[in-house]
Amino acid sequence: MRPPLISLYTAQALVVTHTCDVDCIGVKAEILAGSGGGMGSQENFEFNTLNPIPYNMYGEPGTSSAFDTHPPAWIGLDHATITWPGHPMEPNSAFYFSDEHGEPVTGIPYYVIGATITPSTFQVSEKPYRAPGPPPFPQVPVPWVGVGLFWITAFMWTIPGSPGGGVAGDQAAPPAGAGFPFGSPAIFKSGCCGSNGIRGGGGRGGGAGGAVEQIGPMAGNVGNDRDGGGGSGAGMAWDHPIGSGIRNLQWGPGGGASGGKARIWPELKPKYRLLAGAGGLGGPAGPGGFAGGRGAHGAVRVIEKLRDL
């Protein structure tokens, strides 16, 4: 029996084409979305109104991973709205502009905004859903200029990147994957958000985040790239009272969520399109503080079963 042929893709900003071996008789794909980065810290921070950490210090969310595509569709584009009667799109579904054969034009992915979906139309963003809050957190429709007819190719299976670390209550739960029936835990597992004061999220879908809790003055740890893990929040320390020589330590702020994970057995095709997400950057350091850790990169691993010689 021949060993399987394994291909690994990670942290790809554009659509990638995987071409199967001529002897391939079956494919399994393991998909991991990008994990969120940890929150930055600043001197004497508080998780309330006394000295809050601003939104721009939150960790960035990871980017989406996706695999396999629907047949290309001939759609109408009117500024920010796409018309596609009977479309299969769900919130956070990803697609790209293509030719009639599904070949990418630019390779840039776009994501469906859930609140705009009707049976025949939807609007899209350059980023999947992010946690609510002031800009740039909400999704913003792409303001394309003009109208016309174009080919697009939509992904069948999309897992959005997971949220970055932030103050509890400001972060949304990791978004659901698109294309997975009922969010079945048998094929889709979502990581959990990191909490204030601890390492980045682990969750059922991802591995551990930062290696240790962030106590004391240090930058956040990078998430575990092998299985997906959120970056941990940065640590912080300061002297109190001034000149007393007594050193107080603070826990790090929120860690990022681990990337969602799925395993699928798609219909055998000569080639597949895919997205391999990247980990979100850690939040920047504030005055007297440290940066959060980067989230683990997403990945797509394609495992081909080969015909015996």
Per mean pLDDT, which range of 31-35, 65-69, 245-249, 291-295 is the poorest? 245-249
The pLDDT confidence band at residue 235, using thresholds 50, 70 and 90, is low
Residue 288 scores a pLDDT above 90 = no
Q: Which residue has the tokens 């972060």?
A: 171
Mean pLDDT, to the nearest integer, of 280-292? 80
Separation of alpha carbons 290 and 284, rounded Å? 7
* 273 within a domain of the structure (yes/no): yes
Q: Between 270 and 93, where is the model more confident?
A: 270
Per the structure, the count of domains in the chain is 1
* 291 within a domain of the structure (yes/no): yes
The whole-model pTM stands at 0.79
Determine what percent of the chain is predicted with pLDDT higher than 70: 63
Residue 205 scores a pLDDT above 60 = no
Q: Quote the pLDDT of residue 177.
A: 57
* 302 within a domain of the structure (yes/no): yes
Q: Between 207 and 232, where is the model more confident?
A: 232
Separation of alpha carbons 203 and 75, rounded Å? 38
The pLDDT confidence band at residue 178, using thresholds 50, 70 and 90, is low
Residue 151 scores a pLDDT above 70 = yes
Q: Quote the pLDDT of residue 159.
A: 84
| Cβ atoms 90, 128 nearer than 8 A | no
Instruction: Using DSSP, state whether 145 is helix, strand or coil.
Output: coil
Residue 109 scores a pLDDT above 70 = yes
Task: Quote the Cα angle for 273-125-30, to 5°.
Answer: 35
Mean pLDDT, to the nearest integer, of 129-147? 63
* 75 within a domain of the structure (yes/no): no
Q: Between 219 and 59, where is the model more confident?
A: 59
Average pLDDT of the residues of the chain? 74
* 207 within a domain of the structure (yes/no): yes
230: number of CA atoms within 13 Å, CB side? 43
Instruction: Using DSSP, state whether 183 is helix, strand or coil.
Output: helix
Q: Quote the pLDDT of residue 167.
A: 58
Q: Quote the pLDDT of residue 222.
A: 62
In the sheet that holds 5-10, the strands lie side by side as 5-10, 299-306, 24-32, 261-264, 188-189
Residue 201 scores a pLDDT above 50 = no
Q: Quote the pLDDT of residue 87.
A: 94
Note down the domain range covering 282: 1-66+159-309
Mean pLDDT, to the nearest integer, of 31-36? 84
Looking at residue 99, what DSSP letter applies? Answer: -
pLDDT per residue as tens digits for the range 243-258:
545 444 444 566 777 7
Determine what percent of the chain is predicted with pLDDT higher than 90: 31
* 197 within a domain of the structure (yes/no): yes
The pLDDT confidence band at residue 39, using thresholds 50, 70 and 90, is confident
